[in-house]
Amino acid sequence: MQKGKPLNIIDDTQQKQLVTEIKDEWEEIKKERMDINGEDFDSFLDTMDRQRKGQMPKTAGRAYNLDTGLSQIKCSDIERTIIGALFGTDPIISVSPRPGFARGAGTEVCKQQQEFLDYAIDERIPIRPPMRLAATSAVYKKVGIIKWVHKVKKEKRIGHEKYIGNPQVVGQDPQTGQPITKNEGLEEFMLHHGETIEKDLKKNPKSKKYKWIVDRLQQGKKAEFDIEYDDVVFSDPFPRFIDNKDFYVRKNTEGYDGLCETLLIVERVSFSYYE
């Protein structure tokens, strides 16, 4: 495998080689994880979790343990500062045109883009809760990880459509002498449903599901019908916080560019019984 290169698997030998390389890389990642700056990384994460929660190890001979919460007070202040820096501005994202694009309607286009992004982050994309978790992780555990997942939600709708055929002769074919006709109603129908008709005919070449509509439009008549379609409720990137315990990568991986170039990234995912 080469860093940052897409895989092109064409035979079983390459598949077996890929599996071997992935297993070897996975073992190396686990070995490195046991010695991060002379400390086991998972033990470090457990220690930081106990410090954040104020949980102290039990010691024989002590009557009780007392946690004054100094770490939590200081770290909570840092977390609030991070979140305030991210979301304390209005608008959250500022969009400005490039010098060449500022002429004409460029400024207005950027203003509309800015309002759209600001509304999406404020009302539609649940960005604040995972960002707070990532900020907490960054303060206590040196890094906070956010994974962006593209989510699409569609709902079935019933729409009413009407097309009116109007075939008109617009010229004559110089080679065949046949008239050239134009039918705006039929063209509009095919523009909206041409791909659907093509898929339907591929599944069943004898299908006549849409034939009556085409025939009526070709004859210059009206075609009116109800149709079911998928309405996109949202199609947005959604952030998800990943606990450092569930994220595995080489210890010398530097930032986003390093993640793009590294050989293997592993995320441990928990599933319920029903999943």
> What pLDDT is attached to residue 6?
53
Q: Cα-flanking dihedrals φ and ψ of residue 241, to 5°?
A: -75, 135
- Under a CB-based contact definition with an 8 Å cutoff, are residues 246 and 268 in contact? yes
Q: How confident is the model at residue 138, as a pLDDT?
A: 92
For the chain of 275 residues, list the mean pLDDT of each consecutive stretch of 10.
54 81 92 87 89 77 72 88 88 84 81 90 90 93 92 92 89 82 91 90 90 92 90 91 93 89 91 81
Asked if 23 contacts 15 with a C-beta cutoff of 8 angstroms, the reply is no
Q: Select from 266, 265, 272, 225 the least CA-distant residue to 4.
A: 265
pLDDT at 230: 87
Helix (H, G, I), strand (E, B) or coil at 228: strand
* Predicted pLDDT of residue 213: 92
Judge contact between 215 and 167, C-beta under 8 A: no
Q: What is the pTM of this model?
A: 0.70
Q: What is the pLDDT of residue 173?
A: 80
Question: What are the extents of the domains in the chain?
Answer: 12-54+69-152+240-267, 154-232
